[in-house]
Homo-oligomer: A and B are copies of this chain.
Amino acid sequence: MYQSKLFTKTRKEAPSEEVAKNASLLIRAGYIHKQMSGVYEFLPLGLRVINKISNIVREEMNKIGGLELKMTVLQDSEHWQKSGRWDDSVVDNWFKSKLSSGAEVGLANTHEEALSSLLKQYIDSYKDLPIYPYQIQVKFRNELRAKSGILRGREFLMKDMYSFSRNQEEHDAFYETAKEAYKRVFTRAGIGDRTFLTFASGGSFSKFSHEFQTLTDSGEDTIYLDKKKKLAINKEVYNDEGLQESGLNKDDLEEVRAIEVGNIFPLGTKYAEAVGLKFKDEKGQSHTPIMGSYGIGVSRLMGAVVEVLATDKGLVWPENIAPFKVHLISLKQNEEAEKIYQQLQEAGVEVLYDDRDLSAGEKFNDADLIGLPYRVVISEKTIKEGKFELKKLQEDEANLVSEAEILKILTS
């Protein structure tokens, strides 16, 4: 797209009230805007990143049998009273509101209750299971303090999948499948090399749940990492029992800081039982399905990528989730630039074309902040040689390349 059509602008100064690196940089680069503390609008560039992450998540969930649906924000209190999670003393970050009739409603922070309840209409027999419904949906948590930018918002976008299995064996097998799908998501999002499966507290139905933790000094969490095994254990279960059961050895572990970018959780029969979801087996006997939940904070993942990869100069997007692949910068050579822009568009390459009437310095500063994977510069100098300057964001050196080469490199 033409950058002149993008209504957002970069800011030189970080907003003074933002302490989190992710919010500060994303606001400066024009990806997000703060509505209020912990509540951010996604501007056109930011929405493109959100959509790319969502599509990666969607593809990986579909691959393992996930079926997408969309639950509701407004929640009938009835389901939550059944599970005992309606009371503010149990869940302390509810947003609640009232219908005109006076009845209280909740704003969903998760969907175990509502989904289990919905499925009562469709699940009767063992033939109806297993199923893996998921959604990518806005969720709400009334955080007392919200200072982590989009890492921990009061309103945020989340993928939540729920598994409903007929027995423990079936559950366990899917749980392992989900682990692998999660690894693929983080690899495709560009942080696979520093994201580790981490043993966490399991609740009453299982020894462990599992987190996916991405290493970064700014991380909220402390974990203990075995670099060889590529496995970690979090603080909750970092004790003799936890170590023994996880098979990790204290001597091989290093204390590191990390951000939780995903978690998977065995739920046992707790929620299905609470709302009365059952199925009949081959003999007509009634059972409660075994559930698991599988979460990825889509907006949080975007924030985590910023925390981990961005530099002092600006954002650094992995190619798969960058809002555009190429930043095409015309230094007063719009006629030539327009040609290559059209060619790249036709070849299906996503290009942000800086066609604005600004100085080279301003354009380069903006490009540094916006952080697209490739930069192509067209100036009087490059045109004289019949070439373009091409630079990968994380490389220092730019190369002068021909039109044919540029198309080849950027479409490969």
* A residues apposed to B, CB below 8 Å: 5-9, 11, 30, 33, 35-36, 39-44, 46-47, 50, 65, 67-76, 93, 95-101, 105, 107, 114, 118-119, 121-123, 128, 131, 133, 138, 140, 142-144, 154-155
Contacts and interface: CB of A to CB of B under 8 A. Distances in A.
A107 B105 CA distance: 13
A6 B67 contact: yes
Report, nearest first, the 3 A-B pairs whose CB atoms are least far apart. A42-B70, A7-B131, A100-B144
A118 B41 contact: yes
Contacts of A142: 97, 99-100
A42 B99 CA distance: 21
Contacts of A118: 33, 35, 41
Nearest to A45: B69
A39 B7 CA distance: 34
Contacts of A72: 35, 39-41, 155
Contact of A73 (B50, B122, B138): B138
Contact of A7 (B6, B44, B128): B128
A65 B122 contact: no
A222 to B, nearest CB: 25
A105 B39 CA distance: 11
A219 to B, nearest CB: 24
Contacts of A36: 74, 76, 105
Nearest to A114: B35
Given A71-B41, A119-B7, A97 B95 contact: yes
Contacts of A8: 122
A1 to B, nearest CB: 8
Contact of A69 (B39, B44, B133): B44
A98 B98 CA distance: 11
A122 B7 contact: yes
A297 to B, nearest CB: 15
A283 B58 CA distance: 51
Given A35-B74, A70-B42, A97 B100 contact: no
Contacts of A97: 95-97, 107, 142
B67 A33 contact: no
Given A36-B105, A97-B142, A101-B144, 19 more contacts: A8-B122, A33-B121, A35-B72, A36-B74, A40-B72, A41-B70, A44-B68, A44-B133, A46-B69, A47-B68, A73-B155, A74-B140, A74-B155, A95-B97, A95-B98, A97-B107, A99-B154, A100-B142, A100-B143
A74 B34 CA distance: 11
A195 B285 CA distance: 53
Contacts of A73: 73, 107, 138, 140, 155
Contacts of A128: 7
A72 B146 CA distance: 16
A161 to B, nearest CB: 13
A5 B67 contact: yes
Contacts of A138: 73, 138
A70 B47 contact: yes
Contacts of A70: 41-42, 47, 50
Nearest to A100: B144
A65 B155 contact: no
